[in-house]
Amino acid sequence: MDDDVFNSIVNLEDEFEDIGYIEGLEAGKIAGRIEGREMGCDNGLDIGRDLGFYHGWVQQWVRAAAAHPGLVSDRVLKKLTALQDAIDEVPMANGEGADFGDRLKAIQLKFKTASAMLGINAAAELPSSSLSGTTAARIVGANVAKLADFDDTVKIWVHEEIVDGRKLTDIINTEHENVKYLPGHKLPDNVVAVPDATDAVRGATHIIIVLPHQYIQQLLDSVHGSILPNASAMSLIKGIGISDQGMTTMTQLIHRTLAIPVSSLSGANIANEIAEEKYCETTIGCQDPDEAIVWRSLFNTPYFQVNCVADVIGVEFCGALKNVVAVGAGFIDGLGLGNNTKAAIIRIGFLEMRRLAMHIAGGGIQESTFMESCGLADVITTCYGGRNRRLAEEFVRTGKPMPQLELELLNGQKLQGYLTAGEVHSYIDSCGVTDHFPLFTNIYQICYESKPPHTIFAGLNVDFSRDTKTPSPSL
């Protein structure tokens, strides 16, 4: 009897373990089934909705083509049939060969090509007719006119203003010249200015966004309901955003609002020189190799040589942060110091750019991106020929605040450098790492805290040697 009691006590743990195992297994099966069903419903719903859209679209065109012979060419009909086949081949259940992601991607590409050939694939721009936006429209306009896969028309959104008593959109559409932001350079006839941003993006599969970064969120909010679900965007903006979540790049901001893939283009690209068709290079950061080819075909010309990399945010960090270095270079010119001093500021600025980008994005950025046109080359050109440099020089010479100089000297153009210096400072200050960015900190203090320009040299003897050895330098 005693024996039995002890036996059952000794075995109690094993018994509970067995019971626990069986109960846990049953509970796990039920929870797994519920979770799996929820996930399946969510994903299946998305896939079904997209497939339904493509199916309905292609059916309409196939029917219309059958009812109206000659409505579409044989080439287009072939593309529509290929799209229809790809949709029909999608299995209706999970299993081997289902690979829904790859299949949807292939369908999306076929849809883009077919809709482009049908003339409903406008490559739209949202440049607010700025200097670089108009320059980009010139290039893209000339390229789409030659590309079979794209509709001929490039819509360019113009933040409407009156120039010499006339609407800027009317001037652009009649004289084919942006007389305010890019005077002296004709635009191709297929570039059409529209005053309503939603008009520019409606029906567009490729959206190019170029405007001073301070206006971006307002613009995105106004267009986000009008974007095609299969559209993709390219940001040419050189700027960063600061939010509660820290530092945001423009592609992150655009993606968050529009929920479409976003790439970046940046390089040693002073817009007036490009408009004069002087040879230069640029860098496209695009994660999808197929999309990168499409974007390259929209921008590449013999005088504007595009190189593609996969590092989207590396490209844009370079473009944004070089503007702060340009302000420093302008201070050096304003102080009347020579080329050696400017070269020192460029070198240190370049290292601080790289250090900051790595600090924020770590292994998400490629070292090699800094050697592309968007990196080293853009720092050089901007520190010698850019507007940020020029106004920083005037700032030292005249003592006038940057916003006043911008109004007086830039005829409506907007500076990014001193704003970015403020944004960078608020970020590094909140992280407690200003000591590791003496040049950025000094430039900020000269711009915003009335420190004299010669204080730009304070504490610049920083050791950057560890930065090249670790992908994400610990500060």
Ligand X SMILES: NC(=O)c1ccc[n+]([C@@H]2O[C@H](COP(=O)([O-])OP(=O)(O)OC[C@H]3O[C@@H](n4cnc5c(N)ncnc54)[C@H](O)[C@@H]3O)[C@@H](O)[C@H]2O)c1
Contact flags string 325-364 toward ligand G3P, x per CB under 6 A: -x--------------------------------------
Contacts 24+ apart (CB under 8 A), 452-455: 453/331, 453/334, 453/335, 453/395, 453/396, 454/335
Residue closer to ligand G3P by CB (options 61, 350) is 350
Which of 79, 342, 355, 387 binds ligand G3P (CB under 6 A)? It is 387
Residue closer to ligand X by CB (options 56, 165) is 165
Smallest distance, ligand G3P to C-beta of residue 314, A? 16
Among ligand G3P, ligand X, none, residue 241 binds (CB under 5-8 Å by kind): none
d(CA 297, CA 279) in angstroms, rounded, equals: 17
d(CA 72, CA 98) in angstroms, rounded, equals: 32
Cβ atoms within 10 Å, residue 64: 11
Task: Indicate the DSSP class of residue 187.
Answer: P
212 binds ligand X (CB under 6 A): yes
Active-site residue, from 322, 342, 400, 469: 322
Cβ atoms within 10 Å, residue 166: 12
232 binds ligand X (CB under 6 A): no
The full length of the chain comes to 475
- Determine the interface stretch with ligand G3P among 13-21, 110-118, 375-383, 462-470 (rule: CB under 6 A): 375-383
Identify whether 322 is a catalytic site residue: yes
Residue closer to ligand G3P by CB (options 372, 467) is 372
CB 424 within 8 A of CB 328: no
Among ligand X, ligand G3P, none, residue 287 binds (CB under 5-8 Å by kind): none
282 binds ligand G3P (CB under 6 A): no
386 binds ligand G3P (CB under 6 A): yes
- Determine the interface stretch with ligand G3P among 222-230, 384-392, 395-403, 422-430 (rule: CB under 6 A): 384-392
159 binds ligand X (CB under 6 A): yes
413 binds ligand X (CB under 6 A): yes
Beta strand pairing call for 246-249 and 240-243: antiparallel
Bridge partners of 208?
Answer: 125, 234
Bridge partners of 167?
Answer: 162
Among ligand G3P, ligand X, none, residue 378 binds (CB under 5-8 Å by kind): ligand G3P
Cβ atoms within 10 Å, residue 380: 17
Smallest distance, ligand X to C-beta of residue 402, A? 14
Tokens 């330098």 belong to residue: 473
Going by C-beta distance under 8 Å and a sequence separation of 6 or more, which residues neighbour residue 225?
198
382 binds ligand G3P (CB under 6 A): yes
What are the φ and ψ backbone dihedral angles of 155, each rounded to 5 degrees? -90, 135
Contact flags string 109-148 toward ligand X, x per CB under 6 A: -------------------xxxxxx---------------
Beta strand pairing call for 166-167 and 162-163: antiparallel
Among ligand G3P, ligand X, none, residue 131 binds (CB under 5-8 Å by kind): ligand X
Considering CB under 6 A, how many residues would be counted as binding ligand X? Answer: 24
The candidate with the shortest Cα–Cα distance to 308, out of 323, 322, 298, is 298
Residues between 388 and 447 that touch ligand G3P (CB under 6 A)? 388, 416
The candidate with the shortest Cα–Cα distance to 94, out of 49, 40, 31, is 40
- Give the DSSP H or E segment for 192: strand 191-194
Smallest distance, ligand X to C-beta of residue 265, A? 9
Positive or negative, the CA dihedral 288, 293, 296, 298 is negative
Residues between 232 and 251 that touch ligand G3P (CB under 6 A)? 238
Residue closer to ligand X by CB (options 86, 324) is 324
Tokens 């005037």 belong to residue: 394
Strands of 373-424, DSSP E = none
- Determine the interface stretch with ligand G3P among 60-68, 98-106, 110-118, 378-386 (rule: CB under 6 A): 378-386
Smallest distance, ligand G3P to C-beta of residue 316, A? 12
In the complex, the residues that contact ligand G3P under the rule CB under 6 A are 238, 268-270, 326, 378, 381-382, 386-388, 416
Which residues participate in catalysis according to the annotation?
A: 322
